[in-house]
Amino acid sequence: MTFTPVQMIGTQRSGSNLLRLMLNQLKGVSAPHPPHILERLMPLLPAYGDLNIVPNFEKLIEDVCSLVETNPVPWTGVVLDRQVILTRCAEPTLPEVTRVVYELKAESEGANVWMCKSMANIRYADDLEKYYRKPLYVHLFRDGRDVALSFKKAIVGEKHIYHIARQWKQEQDASIDLYEKLGSSRVIRLRYEDLLQNPQEELKKLCSFLGVAYSEAAMSYHESDESKETANSGLMWQNVVKPVLTDNHNKFLKELSEVDIRIFECVAGETLEKLGYQLQFEYNKNHSFSDEEIASFSKINDDLKAEFRKKLRPEDLEKRRGQEELLRKIKSQMPVHQLPSPPASSREPADLTTPIIN
């Protein structure tokens, strides 16, 4: 079977689970809940040594499989045979293991298109481009100010508007650059607000790009077992068991303060305009925040993240315990000088005191 790999890119809190669940309803498409293999394990690769040494590569395969098998939203119907994965990898690299694992999941479902929803993989686009079959990319984007509002309410992610704006700008700029580099034959751009207003039309465009048949089954995503399992895995995914929320946009106008909107637009205003969003205020493109201001923002950000971690339900912590323990074990095997730098995002494994939230 020949597979078509698809990578979703952009920033979380932009409707990625909605789109994943819609596509997962279509015949020939496999879009499982992501264990974030590259995002979590790329920074920890020094723990494995030279991957050209077979036992080292086998250990990496074992840990990738364990990461998948302890995912809070289970991958059902697939057996991850370590020896099969070793045989099917074209080279001893983490992206190759990731490709084969997703192919095995797709194969178990009779699908020839698989999608990885780990949007932060935009950071590893150069590695993905080394696949023997280059992936298609879906750049799903949303008004960054609504993304910021969502992050400020969620357990996951940065909490101060400055940090959220900076992350959103970096990931969107990288996604825009990839589109300009590869063109519309490899990258499709999908605006979240358009998906809410015209879901069938937008999905048909996407299906044409992916080479799969559209079905109205996509609109019944909220009734699927996968959506129920996802909703049960965390409070921030409760909306996936509801029909499309057509009014879930421009909420920042009422719920973000003027100060927050001004900070976001100061950091990421140019990127907002590139993506077709109207700014609320004039801003100085040459403005930069002082070291003192950024230090203050960072202190508030860290304090808020600590507060949110305390709100995690015991059952949510338990579902994520397996992955946390695995990543902590891998990190403990790394020499101190090779430990990852402080994380840019709360899900990166450098900070293993932070509960993993997919």
Domains of the chain listed by start with CATH number: 4-336 (3.40.50.300)
Report the C-alpha gap between 102 and 32 in whole angstroms: 9
How much of the chain exceeds pLDDT 90, in percent? 79
The answer, yes or no, to whether residue 114 has pLDDT greater than 60, is yes
pLDDT of residue 255: 98
Confidence of residue 15 (pLDDT cuts 50, 70, 90): very high
pLDDT of residue 353: 33
**pLDDT tens-digit readout, 248-281:** 999 999 999 999 999 999 999 999 999 999 999 9
Instruction: Tell me the C-alpha to C-alpha distance, in Å, between residue 138 and each of 9, 22, 284.
Output: 6, 14, 32
Report the C-alpha gap between 48 and 25 in whole angstroms: 37
The answer, yes or no, to whether residue 358 has pLDDT greater than 50, is no
Task: Please state the pTM of the whole predicted model.
Answer: 0.92
**Residues 227 and 221 sit within 8 Å (Cβ to Cβ):** yes
**pLDDT tens-digit readout, 293-349:** 999 999 999 999 999 888 888 888 888 899 999 999 999 988 777 777 654 443 333
The answer, yes or no, to whether residue 54 has pLDDT greater than 90, is yes
256 vs 228: which has the higher pLDDT: 256
pLDDT of residue 354: 41
What mean pLDDT do residues 189-218 have? 98
**Residues 340 and 39 sit within 8 Å (Cβ to Cβ):** no
Confidence of residue 66 (pLDDT cuts 50, 70, 90): very high
The answer, yes or no, to whether residue 357 has pLDDT greater than 60, is no
The average confidence (pLDDT) of the chain is 91
The answer, yes or no, to whether residue 145 has pLDDT greater than 70, is yes
pLDDT of residue 237: 62
What mean pLDDT do residues 51-58 have? 98
Confidence of residue 153 (pLDDT cuts 50, 70, 90): very high
The answer, yes or no, to whether residue 355 has pLDDT greater than 50, is no
C-beta contacts of 258-267 below 8 A and 24+ residues apart? 260/148, 260/161, 261/145, 263/161, 263/162, 263/165, 264/144, 264/145, 264/148, 264/161, 264/164, 264/165, 265/145, 266/165, 267/162, 267/165, 267/166, 267/169
Query: Helices H, strands E: what count in the chain?
Result: 15, 5
pLDDT of residue 337: 72
